Amino acid sequence: MIATTLTDGLTALGPASRAAGAAGAGVAVRLQGLGRRFGAMAVVADLDLEIPPGQFLALLGPSGCGKTTLLRLIAGLDTPDRGSIRLEGDPEGRSRAYVFQDACLLPWRRVLDNVALPLELGGVPKAERREQARRLIQLVGLEAASERYPDELSGGMKMRVSLARALITRPRLLLLDEPFAALDDFTRQHLDDHLQGLFLAHGMTVVFVTHSMAEAVYLADRVVMLAPQGGGLVLDQRVDLPRPRDQDTRVSPGYAAHIHDLATALARWAPGGVVA
Amino acid sequence: MPLTPPRLATWLPPVLSFDILTLVMELGLWVLAVPDYLLPRPSQVFIALYVNSAELGRSILQTSIAASAGLLASALLGVLVALALSINDVIRRAFYPYAVFFQTVPIVAIAPLLVIWFGYGLRTIIAVSFIVSVFPIIANTLSGLLSTDPALRDLFRLHRAGTWTTLLKLRIPAAVPHFLTGLRIASGLAVIGAIVGEFVADDYSQGGGIGTLVLVSIKELKTDKVFAAVLMASLLGLVFFALVNLISRFTRRHWHIAETRE
């Protein structure tokens, strides 16, 4: 319920701020001839990809196709063996944020101080960072839990804390690595709506790794598919469904058509049918 | 749940088995007419406990002071050594073998050496207790410092946290449960170490610890008193273990960290 009202609230502000966002809030990502191998295995090979500012990109593919590796490279957590990564509008990569597969919270800290952690590491004084953290916690609808510890929260709540922590630095490039994969379907759709609301309100560039076609189509402006073992891009498809997307979107003909297109394309590229 | 009194089914079996065993032993030793100096009957041990309660109490106090000091030294120095070893691979490879060696060296063999260095008395006893109990703390704390969740380390790296910040805000707090596991193992060892220390180095200045009492009673052929002392020594070990467990549980609850899987 909270998420729905929040999304509505954000959409009310939506168009204007999104327009502003598209004008310059997001970072453009340019990958050229990118390669990364682990031992003899090329996980990413000779990859070119351009992500314009303010785009919501879903990276789709079976496990082992290098999605996480690619995301870590963009995040600067790993260095490429060849090729280049350019972040236009943020050459030093200071406005990147990353959401991990698990919520990855510090168990000995309250929600408030978990969310404030990135600011704390950046040297922001305590009072200020806590005030910011309170705002973010409100944004993800967790006010009641801000003094609780992670072990007292459900999986979905932990993930929302993780989202709030990622957003507290006002990132202009948000990287998410299958953030909701471990959650039940209901919670997952809830958080998808949440993420969409945050995206519409803040107008950042988003790279979202997932292995769910439905989630990719629901969330993204563009879906990109990677083939296993450095096979590169095998699919690059725009999703032009109107935003904000909601429950009606999930049953609309356009949505079904997109998923059908994806599935057909994937079947062509993965004749073994191993695509999840 | 923890506040409700334990159910009959929980405490009755051990109490019953203790009663029966004691009774069987009492009757058996009496029927077989085993001499007291070989194996005293339980009733004689209980009498010895009562008759010598003042002396036993004093010895227990003496030993627990030495064991506490030894354990405290282990906790402090053990953590420092673990921190030093966690700095990098080269230091760890160069110096960790000494920590292992420290553990494998037969303490009974080097205890007389410690007497030469530190003389008779509390200092040597504490040193023995320390040597015996420090390794589990070093080993566990070190493994805790080295096994920080890689994703959390990435998070800190992403936000450009330095080595020092990462150590203080991530690696040390994350190692606390491992340290507590080490402390729990060390608590029992510290008591054993103190008793072994008293065997070789007690100067009787405070009337002697529980180890000394055992030695003296054996020389006097007061086997019932030896048994009384051994009983008290085991009890002391148990109390130490229980206390550390309590501290550990309190800390875990306070810090919201789960039990480490062992």
- For residue B35, tell me if it sits in a domain: no
Q: What is the pTM of this model?
A: 0.82
State the pLDDT at residue A110.
Answer: 93
Q: Sketch the domain layout of chain A as residue ranges.
A: 2-95+173-269, 106-169
Q: A76-97 pLDDT, tens per residue?
A: 999 999 999 999 887 777 789 9
CA distance B12 to B10: 6
User: How close does chain B come to A69, measured CA to CA in Å?
Assistant: 13
Q: Which residue has the higher pLDDT, B234 or A10?
A: B234
Instruction: Count up the domains in chain B and report the number.
Output: 1
Q: What is the ipTM of this complex?
A: 0.84
Nearest-by-CA chain A residue for B152? A104
User: How close does chain A come to B1, measured CA to CA in Å?
Assistant: 19
Nearest-by-CA chain B residue for A150? B256
Contact indicator for A180, A162 with CB cutoff of 8 Å: no
CA distance B115 to A16: 82
- For residue B95, tell me if it sits in a domain: yes
Task: Report whether pLDDT(B1) > 70.
Answer: no
CA distance B143 to B47: 48
Binary contact (B256, A151; C-beta < 8 A): yes
Find how far residue A169's CA is from the centre of its chain. 15
Binary contact (B151, A102; C-beta < 8 A): yes
Q: Which of A87-91, A98-102, A147-151, B243-247 has the lowest mean pLDDT?
A: A87-91
Q: B217-229 pLDDT, tens per residue?
A: 999 999 999 999 9
Q: Which two tokens stand for residue A61?
A: 């593919």
Q: Which of A121-135, A168-182, A213-227, B243-257 has the lowest mean pLDDT?
A: B243-257
Binary contact (B158, A77; C-beta < 8 A): yes
Q: Which two tokens stand for residue B262?
A: 């062992």
Domain A2-95+173-269, CATH among 3.40.50.300, 1.10.1270.20, 3.10.129.10, 3.90.420.10: 3.40.50.300
Beta bridge partners of A58: A208, A223
User: How close does chain A come to B159, measured CA to CA in Å?
Assistant: 6
Write the CATH number for B154.
1.10.3720.10
CA distance A90 to A95: 7
Residue B165 has its nearest CB partner, among A108, A121, A150, at A121
Binary contact (A76, B158; C-beta < 8 A): yes
Which residue range(s) make up the domain with B54?
Answer: 42-255
- For residue B76, tell me if it sits in a domain: yes
> Taking Cα atoms as reference points, which of B54, B25, B36 lies closest to residue B223?
B36
DSSP-based three-state secondary structure for A126: helix
State the pLDDT at residue B259.
Answer: 53
In chain B, % of residues over pLDDT 70 = 95
Tell me the mean pLDDT in the region B23-36: 91
Residues of B with CB below 8 A from A106's CB?
Answer: 152, 170, 173
Contact indicator for A165, A118 with CB cutoff of 8 Å: yes
Q: Which two tokens stand for residue A4?
A: 């729905």
| pLDDT classification of A1: cutoffs 50, 70, 90 | very low
Residues of A with CB below 8 A from B169's CB?
Answer: 120-121
| pLDDT classification of A3: cutoffs 50, 70, 90 | very low
Residue A108 has its nearest CB partner, among B149, B158, B256, at B256
Task: Write the secondary structure of A35-71 as one string of H (helix), E (strand) and C (coil).
Answer: EEEECCEEEEEEEEEEECCCCEEEEECCCCCCHHHHH
In chain B, % of residues over pLDDT 90 = 70
Task: Report whether pLDDT(B2) > 60.
Answer: no
- Which residues of B touch chain A, with CB atoms under 8 Å apart? 149, 151-152, 154-161, 165, 169-170, 173, 176, 255-258
- For residue B13, tell me if it sits in a domain: no
